[in-house]
Amino acid sequence: MVFRTFGRTDLAGAAFELAAIARARDLMFLIAGEPELALRCGAAGVHWPEARLGQAPPWRRRFAIMSASAHSPGAARRAASVCDLVFVSAVFASRSPSAGRPLGPFRLAAYARRTACAVYALGGITHQNAQRLSGLGISGLAAIEGLSRPATRG
């Protein structure tokens, strides 16, 4: 579980609350771009946005896990040099403000082959298209909202 802190005002309160939930449910909890806060609330690690990946190396030994986002092959390689896993985005068309042109499954597979850490697909993932990523050599899927099924009418 990654707590994306962008634009939040009460980071500490939310982080401590989410850390407690993660511990109670035996979930891995990471905080995006806030290593000091991650240490204070006992998070397992830090998620580094691609633009802040250069700040990650000094923190490597302080956390059990670090992840990063990547939107290009070069960013994925940089992430692999310091992180345990990378979220490659956007695989499919996405409403996310950071999503660019979708990579598609085959370019994602090429990223995974050339990246020396675990690669997770992100961006536009839905329960309808997730199966298209099977067998591509990625470690898993990630989503912000896309894996939830729409409510069915009764």
Tell me the per-residue pLDDT of 24-42, one tens digit each, with 9 for 90 and over: 999 999 999 999 999 999 9
Q: Are 53 and 75 in contact (CB under 8 A)?
A: yes
pLDDT of 153 reads 47
Cβ atoms of 15 and 31 within 8 Å: the answer is yes
Report the alpha-carbon distance of residue 26 to residue 104 in Å, rounded: 32
In order of start, what are the domains of the chain with their CATH numbers? Answer: 2-141 (3.20.20.70)
Q: What is the DSSP string of 116-148?
A: SSEEEE-SS--TTTGGGGTTSS--EE--SSTTS
- Of the two residues 150 and 8, the one the predictor is more confident about is 8
Q: Is the pLDDT of residue 147 over 60?
A: no
Q: Which two tokens stand for residue 7?
A: 């634009």
pLDDT, tens digit, 9 for 90 and up, residues 62-116: 999 999 999 988 999 999 999 999 999 999 988 766 667 899 999 999 989 999 9
pLDDT value of residue 15: 94
